[in-house]
Amino acid sequence: MTEGHTITIEQHTARVRAVHGGQVLAESGRALVLRETGCPPRYYLPAEDVRLDLLTPSETHTYCPFKGTASYWSLPDAADLVWGYPEPKAEVALIKDHFCFYEIETL
Judge residue 18's burial from the number of C-beta atoms within 10 Å of its C-beta, 0-12 exposed, 13-18 middle, 19 or more buried. Answer: buried
Using alpha carbons, select from 59, 65, 70 the residue that is nearest to residue 101. 70
**Pairwise CA distance, residues 99 & 84, whole Å:** 5
Burial 56-72 (b: 16+ CB within 10 A, else e): eeeeeeeeeeebbebbb
Q: For residue 2, what pLDDT is reported?
A: 63
Listed residue (25, 35, 13) closest to 94, CA to CA: 35
Tell me the one-letter amino acid at 83: W
Q: Determine the pLDDT at residue 1.
A: 56
User: According to the model, what pLDDT value does residue 58 have?
Assistant: 97
Domain segments of the chain as ranges: 7-106
Of residues 11, 61, 19, the one with CA closest to residue 35: 11
pLDDT one digit per residue (tens) for the chain, 107 residues = 567 899 999 999 999 999 999 999 999 999 999 999 999 999 999 999 999 999 999 999 999 999 999 999 999 999 999 999 999 999 999 999 999 998 888 87
Cα separation of 77 and 29, whole Å? 27
CATH superfamily of 7-106: Domain of unknown function (DUF427) (2.170.150.40)
The pLDDT score that the predictor gives to residue 107 is 78
